[in-house]
Structure 1
């Protein structure tokens, strides 16, 4: 499927002040088992002053991998260099490799093989953090095709994935250069939703996500206002692409729990009140437009309550919730109704004056009391009994149907005289 004029993968490297991390990054591309004749590198120096551009040119002159280098004035973010790289890419697939990070040796070979075998448009290779955290919930198993609405892949929306270039060009996908953070989340989410499936490689670490010692990593920069802007853009994209209903609700959990709620974490207790008020102002239109009962029901109680406090515009209630959680207090479990529905008694439970409804305290998804592993909140016993009874009735019906089928196939039962 590969010819020298059409490489399997275009590795797009956007680099800004990337030394000395860039050295290991490019060495990891040269070490790929896929082979230099099946790879091309498109590298963009985004106005570096630390020798990044010079190193890229020297690398291009000596490597056996076809490499093109663009040196441009600083664009202010990763979107510009990535878009330049996309405009130059010729491969069947593209991979966005950050100049701080590096591949494992078999990464591209495994990802290309997976995409070719499964026919999917996006392949996630397992990521491991180096001197920083990395997403982990989506690496439970290798799968040729996963459902984005039931799997955990929506919790990794970074650009470090293998994308089929035909999809990118057909959709006209590009990174939003007006966003200074979160631009890769929009690109990846649209590819998830509109592409022909997502594959996951979980049994081999493909990508090493490096935390820089100099603090220049892009995810550590930018004001909270930019993060609200990025979160709102992702919510708007999901709304535009997915009709209202359970599927949209499921995807919307991601920007609420990974984007918005992070702006109202424990650090809120230490911030000046004016910043907290400003954050509530920025959150208000997002909560009013996108926060629905369907989304709320898919979120754990302690996170849902914090978001409900934000929706009410109540920093005082939020502070009570955060203090309760920070203290490690294990909430009491209260069961109500014939179904013995469980509620977790966080602050202001049952206090009508607070504005928080009892439904906000209801366990609607699997939850834990205390740290993971201490106690899992199960479905109400009455619900489990109903499910068990349903299974027993279903088994009984199947047995009766098999008996009737057997009798019909062997003719009528013998009469007393025939016996």
Structure 2
């Protein structure tokens, strides 16, 4: 097969599923379609594609849809090399750069034919048995969404709490799902198509989170496979992953869309607050890291003002539940204390809030010595604004 011509869908017609079915004659429905959105991910792309070729589920039960979003680093040649060698495994789409992973992910999803669809980051790679184990378990559990245990490579942060144990069914809140909103999951494709769930192509960053949230809200069953690490999430040495290279104002605008999507999909109450809490804890807090002080004064003011709007709109009853350090940083943003934010950046890594057993962050703060924990020179901006749930 190494000399056969690879299947390739050109940009003008790649959105038509008929183009991908031609190589199979429409006779075979794969168990799983893997969508890989690619933009300048060499040399990590090679291991990504190698891990797909090595899947124990077998090439006849899977298809790989690689969407090259205008790569300029030699990745296009590497994709062509794999597609030439494995023409009945890979479908290749090439398109001009769209500015983010949403458009290529949607392009691949439009071509998918499998019973399930899985999204693999082009920086990342899978364990050999990953797809076989996921499909087997999703079939047995009748899962609409299935999470597989992740491992961090480099300084990448991956969720841990949701992977304490395998579970046929988990809740939207209470089992760690809000901390695991990346799209690196197995989705029943009929669910995605029934509700026409797609990535928001106006979001250069974080576009996977509204997609995942809606799929989980619509799902009849969300499952977790946690016996062993199946997905390897890689932090590139040049920090070139899209989340890390997006500018602060772009990340702020996309964070606002995250809050909007939560409000659209979830009614007011503890469930909505649980997902808001995640976005304060991660996406909003990370705007005020060490790089914040290196921004121009005008950009710092705009980022701070934008964060303050989100805190004012969604923070009541939620901000108090963050750990002490994050709450202080976001309080400074709410107050417009730009210089204080430069002096005391958000320098702690992401992850779940740290808690003492039996005590919330708010209780620990209230029991702290007088004068500890307040922004310099003022009252607690949240005094009197607590509400019971």
Q: 1:314 aligns with which of 326, 337, 341?
A: 337
**Distance change (3 Å), C-alpha of 1:274 and 1:348:** farther
Correspondence for 1:121 among 140, 144, 150 = 144
Inter-partner Cα distance in structure 2 for 1:340 and 1:87? 50
Structure 1 residues 273 and 11, CA, compared in 2 at 3 Å: closer, same or farther? Answer: same
Q: Distance in 2 between matches of 1:178 and 1:164?
A: 25
Partner of 2:159: 136
Q: Identify which of 154, 166, 187 aligns with 1:163.
A: 187
Bigger Cα displacement from structure 2, 222-231 vs 129-138: 129-138
CA 341–267 in structure 1, closer or farther in 2 if over 3 Å, else same: closer
Based on CA coordinates, which of the two structures has the bigger radius of gyration? 1
Q: Which one of 109, 129, 135 corresponds to residue 132 of structure 2?
A: 109
Higher relative contact order (CA 8 A, sep 6+): 2
- Equivalent pairs, count: 348
Q: Cα RMSD (Å) of the superposition?
A: 3.1
Contact 1:301 1:360 in 2 (8 A): no
* Partner of residue 122 from structure 2, selected from 99, 115, 129: 99
Task: Give the 5 Å matches for 1:69-218.
Answer: 69-137=92-160, 138-218=162-242
Query: Which SS does the other structure have where 2:284 is aligned?
Result: helix
Give the alignment's TM-score, normalised by structure 2: 0.80
Aligned ranges 1:372-411 → 2 under 5 Å: none
Residues in 2 aligned to 1:82 and 1:262: alpha-carbon distance in whole angstroms: 25
Which SS does the other structure have where 1:354 is aligned? coil
The alignment partner of 1:204 has SS state of coil
1:281-309 CA-partner distances (Å, limit 9, x unpaired): 1113212211112x134322332233223
Shift of 1:346: 7.8
Distance in 2 (alpha carbons) for counterparts of 1:357 and 1:179: 32
Alpha-carbon distance in structure 2 between the residues aligned to 1:347 and 1:317: 17
Preserved contact between residue 344 and residue 361 of structure 1 (Cα < 8 Å)? no
Q: How far has the Cα of 1:84 moved from its partner?
A: 0.7
Change (3 A) 1:320 1:94: same
Residues 5-46 of structure 1, C-alpha deviation per residue, up to 9 Å, x if partnerless? Answer: 111100111222333322221211121111111101111122
Q: Deviation digits for residues 337-364 of structure 1, max 9, x if unmatched?
A: xx999523485668996131585999x9
Say which is worse superposed, 126-135 or 51-60, in terms of deviation. Answer: 51-60
Aligned-partner Cα distance in 2 for 1:141–1:346: 41
Q: CA distance change for structure 1 residues 42 and 272 in 2, over 3 Å: closer, same or farther? A: closer
Question: Where in structure 2 are the equivalents of 1:290-305 lying within 5 Å?
Answer: 290-293=314-317, 295-305=318-328
Match of 2:60 among 37, 47, 65: 37
1:312 and 1:355 in contact (8 A); partners too: no
Task: Give the superposition deviation at 1:276.
Answer: 3.1
Structure 1 unaligned blocks of 5 or more: 326-334, 365-419
